[in-house]
Structures are given as structure tokens and as C-alpha cells.
Structure 1
Amino acid sequence: MLTPLTHRNLLWSALLAASIALLILLFAGLLAQMRPVSMHDLHLGAGEKLKCVSYAPYHRPGQTPLDPDTRIEREQIAADLAALAEITRCVRLYSVSQGLEHVPELARPLGLQVLLGAWIGYDVSANAAELERAITLANDNADVVRALIVGNEVLLRRERTPAEMQALIRDAKARTQVPVTYADVWEFWTRHDELAAEVDFVTVHILPFWEDEPVDIDHALTHVADIRRQVGIHFGTKPVLIGETGWPSAGRQREQSRPSLVNQARYIREFVHQAQQEGWDYNIIEAIDQPWKRRLEGTVGGHWGLLEAGSLHPKFALAGAVAERESLFGPIGGALLGGLIACLLAATGRRTRCLRVSALTACGAVGGVISVLHWEHAHLAYRDALEWSVLGGMAALAGLLPLVLARWHGEPIPDTASAARSLWRAERMRSKAPSVGLLRGLFLFAAAVAALLLWVDPRYRDFPTWLYLAPALVFGVIGWWRSRITIAERTCAAVIVIGVIARWLSEPANPQAIAWLSCGLALAVPVLALRSHEHQQG
């Protein structure tokens, strides 16, 4: 028969081993990100630049085209275009409102051409006004405006019918002095090739990352070449412009298609090189990161730019090796600080033992690293004050969990309801068991909501692994300890297990899905299995 002390030693040994293993795994991943990756160097000739890039000026805090009152100042657009003139010969616009009507006149002295876009949507009267402005602007700046694009992915969004688009394009061609086209993903062009008779050239979007069956970066250029060849054959002698192509630098992985800075640099370099060889006309999406797009497409939507939002600094060079991460200062500092605080809290409490202090120090170090990595992710992903307060609050609790655990000595963990009552009554307790019990309930509920949402609506949602990894470590070990569990907690755990397994089964080769699966199971399985253990220990 094992004594209570032996049980506690097993507990702290398990926590120490799990913490060290996770710490090694985290730093192995970080070191891999530090490794420079060699790739094709893009050597543009003297004075040669990218053919065209998509430009939207909504890259500063609070700027969004979704707010009809938004208007971008002329001075900002002038500064943006001056920066873009260093890397491209042309910019593509998607609208001519909210200050974008200044682009042609500002582009002229910089030597930039403009693919002028008229935004077409549900509102018929707004469409008419937008198209009228675009036609006038194109005619007044025919020396700068390379073409007028009437609508962008309108058929994909099902906001107008093919017949209605034909009528709009026909009207624009009759009244403008520049070539006219329409832009949509390549599948919708081939499904509605009757539009080809109305346009001067076909503008297709080929985005390997967003395909219904996402394409791995290793096969992305082969995919683009195949689609470009198919489109060229389908439309015969009609000229073709690849109106959008690119790769995101951050966000949710789709099956084997992973957003990353290295993959973005690789895709852009290899695509431009191949486009030069094949003689393709192209436009890269996009010039500058667009934080507002995270509202529509999640984290990944805001990180397709060649330049950083706000600062306009290039995200990567066109030649030389590229690394995902430049420094380990933050994670190392987080590990040292978290470990030190946890060590001090554990060492100054009662029943101080070397094994316990070592386990809690290692757990605190893991919590510190995860807090730093979550902070980095939050800056990329969080979109508003609500997300910063709710998700940031959960992240703060996750970071504090190893420190709360440093004052816990292995006492039975109460269920969430009992823990809440104890804390509400301010009962004097010698341990942090009520706090640990309450935090377990909160994380179970929050993770259940996250797992459910990611299961039923996954396309634009990030895997929240950084948010729940520290709780998964802690409760994946101490969750098997003496505890009382409510039906509500078991229900949340069941939802987590079902949700993470279902998400993983949909994309089993996705490392982010695998990490989320592991995290969810570590957090939830002990709760579901506890009934057979809760009366056997101590």
C-alpha cells in the first residue's frame, strides 16, 4: 500500500518529467524557427520590379473599408505609393472610394500604372455610383490606368448573377477609354466563360492556400502552372492576367498548407521567377498587411502583404536565406522569469521538498515560455478590445496557473462549485486547492466552447493551443489526483474530447490540429476517467 508521501512524490515526479519534456519540445521548435532556410534567390534585373501588387491603404490602427465613414488621407496614400514604387511597376485597386480616387494622380509622378477596380456588391444603387466614379477616373487618367476591373469575386460571393455582370461590363466598355475586365477565382471563370466575350482580357485568381483542397507549399507552383495552362487553353487567344496570387505569413494552417514567413518568401520568389520564365502577366496579393481583414478571414487574412502594416518595412528580402524567427530572447526570458517566480513561491511555502520545488520550477518555466509565445500570437490575431479582454484574460489566468500551483501541496481538489463557494465565503485555507479547482472548471468550460466552435466553424479560426497548453500540462498531470468532479465539468470534458478528435479527423496531417488534439485530450481525459480513481488515492 503506497503512503500519501509516496503518492505525492509520484505526482511531483510526473509533473517534473512532463514539464521538462514540454520545455525541450518548445525550445526544439523555436530553434528550428531560428534556422535560416535557403531558397531560390530572386534577382530582378537593373531597374526591374514586380509587375503589379494589390494595394489597399487600410493598414493603420482603426482603418477599415467596412466602416462607410472611413476616409484615408491623401498624404498617407502618397507615402504608401512612394514605398511601393520601390518594388513594383503597378498597383491594383479594388474600389475608388474612401480616398482611393487619389491613387491615379499620385501614381503618375512615381511611374506607377494602376489596375483600377470598381467594387460591385449587393447594393444596386451603390454599384451604379461606384462604376460611374471608376469610369470617370479611368477616362481622366487613361495614361496611368492600365485597365478597369468591374467587380472582384462577385460571382464567388453570389452577390450578382452572370447576366447582371455581363450587363455591367458591357456598359463600362461602352463608356471607357481603357481595357475592361472582371476578376474572380479561376473555377468561377471557367464555369461562367460567357463573360469572356465581354472583357478585353480574363483576370483569374489562383491561390493555392485557399483552394477547396489546400495545396502544400512544395506543390504550390506546380498547381499554379497547371491552372494557368488550363485557363489559357480554355479561353484560347483571350489574354489572361493572374489577378491574385500569394501566400500568407501567419495564421491557421489548412491541412498541409501552412502560413509562415518562410513559406511566403519562398512562394513569392519562386512564383515571380516562374512568371518571368513563362511570360505570365500577374498581380501579387498583396502590397501591405491588412489587419482589418482578420475580421473576415481570421488571422491569416491579415498577413498576405509584402510589407508590414504601419511601418511599411519589407517582411523578407528577395535574396538570401530566410528564418522564421530572429531571436530567442523573449522565450528564454519568459522561461527564466516564470521558473524563478514559481521556485520562490514553492520554496518559501510549507512542506518544502527538493522534488516538489524542482517540479514547480520547471512548470513555471514552461508557463513563462508559453505566455511569451501567446503574447506574440495575440499581436497577430486579436482584433478588438473584446478579444484582448476575454482571451487575454484567459491567457493571464493560464500564465498564473503554475504560480497558483506553487502554493498547492497535493490536497484534494474540490469541484468547481465547491471551490467557488469556498472562495466566495473567504474561508481560510492552508492550500490553494479551491483556486486550483476553480481554474480547472473555468478552463474546461472555455476549452469546450473553443473546441465546439473550431469543430463546427473552422475555416477562419486559429487553433487556440497556446491559450490552453499550460492548463493542459498542469491538469494533464494533477488531474488524476484526488478530486471531486461535477456533471457540468464532465460534460465540458466530453465536448472537448469530441471536438478535438472531430477537428483532427478532418485534417489528420495538420500539425496544428495534432497539437490541438493533444492539448484537448490532456486537459479533458483525466476528468472523464477520474471516477475510477478519485477514491483510490491518498
Structure 2
Amino acid sequence: MPASRTAHRPLWLALLVAHLAALAGLLALVWAQIRPVAMYDLHLAEGEKLKCVSYAPYHLPGQTPFDKKAHVSREQISADLAALSKITECVRLYSIDQGLDQVVDVAREAGLKVLLGAWIGFDRKKNAIELERAIALANANPDIVRALIVGNEVLLRRERSEDEMRALIREAKSRTTVPVTYADVWEFWTKHDSLASEVDFVTVHILPFWEDEPVDIEHALAHVARIHARVGTHFAGKAILIGETGWPSEGRQREASKPSRVNQARYIREFVHQAHARGWNYNLIEALDQPWKRRLEGTVGGYWGMLEARTLKPKFPLAGPVSERAGVLPPVVGAGVGALLGLLLAATSRGTTALRTTALAAAGATTGLIAVLHWEHARIAYRDALEWTVLGGVALLAALLPAVLARWNGEALPAGEEAWARLRARQRPSSAQMLGLLRAVLMFAAAIAALLLFADSRYRDFPTLLYLTPALVFGVVGWWQGKGGRAENIFAWVMLISVIGRWLPEPSNPQAIGWLAAGLALSVPLLAARPRQHEQR
């Protein structure tokens, strides 16, 4: 016969402690995010603005440069540049396709200058057409076009050779009256330094976040100064333009480099102050958030902008303290609603105890808080209907765990195969069987997520919030309820190996540590538990 609920007091106590600890930790994190952080106040001189910012107009829903039929309207460009003209004196373009050739005329109306870019890629025919149009546009507007940038990170992407780029730069220089340059990350400029003799000035990208050894925000400006000095020495006699520098506000932490609104504000403020004090010429990446870049670079790729996509609102002020979050109301409401639902579920269960009721309320509160935090993350990270469907489905299953726990008597969980067989036979599953099936499904999803993150981590977020509720529930239940089936054990081994393998290269990364903890909680109890004891009939 199933054991009574009162016989499982240690289990419910452990569930209560685990959820209260997680709830306290998450609320402390949320509270820390609303704390204003003091930083350098950037006070530009009267009429002084940022020297230049990268501009791409693809910030409205559905817009992407990968859409060959896309054409940006003049009205949108006018609205964008009107907002940018308040903070900068120049915009940098990377291409003049899809309506971007209109930017030069609109920039004149907005009082802006332009660093005109000609996109160079794999397609030689398209390269020739792009360069021809860019040269003509530069020659027709020398009062607006500060320089022509022939290609962006072409050598980094290995889409053209150094000799091919030399030929394209020479052609541009021979046919235009404006200065000509080429833009690439600083390491590739020093590797291909013969190109320096072909350009009027060297345009290097210095992005502390994307360095092979990511740089902490505390040392980011010192790193930029060191690289600028190194490049200046290497190309003595040539002017240097920092063609890209900036910091992301959202996304995956890379070792010591943490994306955040606070860190972005700090970097921009301190960099601009240092650049103006030292007389550096620079271009910030970027003007507006670019949601489409999440397809290329994950969440972090879409959030380098100084202005928000769609609304064009500044993401942070140039003076005064900055906080990561405006308030705590949504997470607190989520926790409160979750706790109330947990209490209602406990109240409608037979033979419940005070300890079990408290544990279910804590589980509900934690789940509600996690659901709100995950929703906030999903809105900035999920890229298409497939991700919303699959990952949203996983989130929904995780949110159902407290409801299934409330109907569970504490008996051993069956293997996922057993629970699935009962469903296929159209037999009504017990609460233990439902919990076992949920464990199998969520372990499968978590194992796939862990494996993908282990194999290809550069642009993937740590999915800790998605699997935190399952980790809290099954991390406790697993110690009391024996081993899972063969499938769950395979998933557990994949999970264990993958989370450890992901953590080892960046052991001090808090996001990697959080994912490690969730992965261990999901996998270790299953692998370490005693063999299941069969109940007597």
C-alpha cells in the first residue's frame, strides 16, 4: 500500500528547505538588481556629442538584412536619425543595400555625418555592384561622407583574401575623393598589416566582451587603452579609428565579461570620457538594439544598442546612478500568486499536514517567481515560433510540478517508460506516474539543452531558469524515491557530463556555476540513488 503522507516528513522538510533557500536567493538577486549603481557621470561640453555610432535600421519586428526583399522606408530612417541626432554627430553604415543608400540624404537633413560602408562578402558580383554604388554615393556627397569603409571583418570571416581586399581598396581609392579604409578586429589588422599602406587610416574593432580571453568590466577600459597604444605603435604614422567598441546589456556571460544594463552604461560613459580626453577617434556599436542579430550571436547579439528597438528610448542616462531593474513588483506578485495557488492545492488535498502545506506554498512561491523571471528572459531571448513552442512547453511543464506534487502521496516514482505505457493504454495515471512521466520528459529536455550548450556554447544562454523548478523538485525527490528507468539514467549521465564540461572552462562564471548546480541536482540523485524497491501487492 502507498505510504501515508505523514511517513514522508523528512522528504517534505527537505522540499521546504530547498524551495525556501531558492526563493530567498532569487529575491535577493532581484532586490540587488533594483539597487542604483553609482558610476562616472558623463558631462559632455556644450554642444558636444558622441563622435559616431553604428546604425542599422533593422530593429522593428520581422526586419532583417537576410530578407532579400527588404527595403527600409525613408520615413523609418528619418525617425531613427532624428533620435540619434540628439546624441551623436555621425552614423556608421555597413552597407547601402535595401534602402540604406537613403541614409546620406536623411543624415544631411538631420545634421549628421556618415561613415559609409560597402559590404564585401563571398559573392564577387554583388561585391562589385555594392562597391560601385558606394563610390558613386561618396563622390556625390563629400560634404556628408567622412570616409568610405571597404568591407567589414571580411578577413575575420575568411570571405576574401588579403590580396583581394587590397585590390578592392585600391580601386576605391583611385575612384573616390573621400578617405578610404578597411575595418576588422585589431588582431586581424596586425596579422594583415600590409593593408595599412593601402588605406588612409586604420579602422580597428576593440571589443573587450568578445576577446578570446573575455575582459571584466573592471578592466575593460584599461584593455582598450592598451590595445589602442599597441595598434598605434604597430601602425606608426597612420591615424587610428576605433571602428567598433561597446558592451551588451543582455545575454550570456562569457567568463569574466557580464552583459548587463549597468555594465553597458558604465562602459559607454567611461569609454567616451577617456576617448574625448585622449583625443581618440571612435565609433560605438551600436545605435539601436538589433533583435535579428540573435539569430547569429544568440541573445547577447541583439542588445548592444544605446537605444531600445522600436521605442528608440535611451537604455540608460549619461549621468546619475543606473539600476538593472526598475522595480520588484512583477517577481514579487509572481511569488505571491504562486504561494496562494500552492496553499489552495494543499487545502484541497486529502490528509495534508502543516509541513506539507508549507512546503507546497514554498514550492508555489518559488515556481511563480521563476515563471516571471523566465518570462522576462524569454521576451528578450526567444527568436521564433519554434523556440516559443518548445521552450515555452518545457516552462509550462515545469510550472505544473507543484500541482502534481500536491496530489502525490509520496510513493516511489515509476520509470518514465512505465508511466508512458499506462497513458498509451488509456489508463488513468496516478499522481506518482504523472510525476515520473514529467521527470522523464524534463530530464530529456534538460539533457538535450546541456549537450547543446556543452558542444556549442559561444552564443547559447545558460537555461538555468528553465530547469530550476525541476532541479529543486527532483533533486530532493530523487534521494528518497530510488533510481529512474534506463532512459532517465542515460539522460542523467548526459546531463552530468555536459554541465561539468561546460563549467570547467569558466569555473568562476556565476551563470556557469548556476547551471552546474541545476544540472547536478537533476542528475546526481538519479545516478546515486539505491535501486527501486518494488512494493508488495
Q: If the length of structure 2 is used for normalisation, what is the TM-score?
A: 0.98
Offset, 1:7: 4.3
1:32 & 1:81 partners in 2: Cα distance?
Answer: 35
Offset, 1:507: 0.4
Change in 2 beyond 3 A, CA 1:233/1:484? closer
| Paired AA for residue 371 in structure 1 | A
Alignment-derived partner of residue 325 in structure 1: 325
Offset, 1:403: 1.8
| Paired AA for residue 245 in structure 1 | T
1:296 & 1:394 partners in 2: Cα distance?
Answer: 24
- What value does the CA root-mean-square deviation take over the aligned residues? 1.4
Offset, 1:531: 3.1
2:289 and 2:304 in contact (8 A); partners too: yes
Offset, 1:423: 2.7
2:420 & 2:339 partners in 1: Cα distance?
Answer: 28
1:115 and 1:145 in contact (8 A); partners too: yes
Offset, 1:533: 6.5
Change in 2 beyond 3 A, CA 1:133/1:148? same
Alignment-derived partner of residue 81 in structure 2: 81
Alignment-derived partner of residue 26 in structure 2: 26
Give a deviation string over 1:214-234, Cα, whole Å, max 9, x none: 000000000000000001111
2:23 and 2:366 in contact (8 A); partners too: yes
Alignment-derived partner of residue 385 in structure 1: 385
Offset, 1:484: 5.3
1:133 & 1:322 partners in 2: Cα distance?
Answer: 43
Alignment-derived partner of residue 522 in structure 1: 521
Offset, 1:15: 0.5
Offset, 1:240: 0.4
Which residues of structure 1 form unaligned runs of 5+? none
Alignment-derived partner of residue 494 in structure 2: 495
SS at match of 1:178: coil
Offset, 1:237: 1.2
Is 1:472 aligned to 2:447, yes or no? no
SS at match of 2:529: helix
2:152 and 2:183 in contact (8 A); partners too: yes
| Paired AA for residue 270 in structure 2 | E
Alignment-derived partner of residue 230 in structure 1: 230
SS at match of 2:39: coil
Alignment-derived partner of residue 355 in structure 1: 355
1:423 and 1:435 in contact (8 A); partners too: no
| Paired AA for residue 499 in structure 2 | V
Offset, 1:421: 1.9
Q: If the length of structure 1 is used for normalisation, what is the TM-score?
A: 0.97
Alignment-derived partner of residue 15 in structure 1: 15
Change in 2 beyond 3 A, CA 1:7/1:500? farther
Is 1:124 aligned to 2:118, yes or no? no
Give a deviation string over 1:297-330, Cα, whole Å, max 9, x none: 0000000000000000000000000000111111
Give a deviation string over 1:487-514, Cα, whole Å, max 9, x none: 1110110010000001100100100000
Offset, 1:69: 1.2
SS at match of 1:143: coil
SS at match of 1:202: strand
Alignment-derived partner of residue 402 in structure 1: 402
Change in 2 beyond 3 A, CA 1:110/1:236? same
SS at match of 1:479: helix
Give a deviation string over 1:400-452, Cα, whole Å, max 9, x none: 111221111212211101111223334345x4111111110011111111111
Alignment-derived partner of residue 444 in structure 2: 445
Offset, 1:6: 5.8
Q: Count residues in correspondence.
A: 534
2:483 and 2:526 in contact (8 A); partners too: no
Give a deviation string over 1:352-377, Cα, whole Å, max 9, x none: 11111110110011000000000000
Change in 2 beyond 3 A, CA 1:288/1:5? closer
SS at match of 2:420: helix
| Paired AA for residue 500 in structure 1 | V
| Paired AA for residue 492 in structure 2 | A
Alignment-derived partner of residue 167 in structure 2: 167
1:172 and 1:180 in contact (8 A); partners too: yes
Alignment-derived partner of residue 511 in structure 2: 512
| Paired AA for residue 449 in structure 2 | A
Identical-residue share of aligned pairs (%): 66
Which residues of structure 2 form unaligned runs of 5+? none
| Paired AA for residue 375 in structure 1 | W
2:149 & 2:42 partners in 1: Cα distance?
Answer: 29
SS at match of 1:459: coil
Report 1:123-272 matches (<5 A).
Answer: 123-272=123-272
1:411 and 1:433 in contact (8 A); partners too: yes
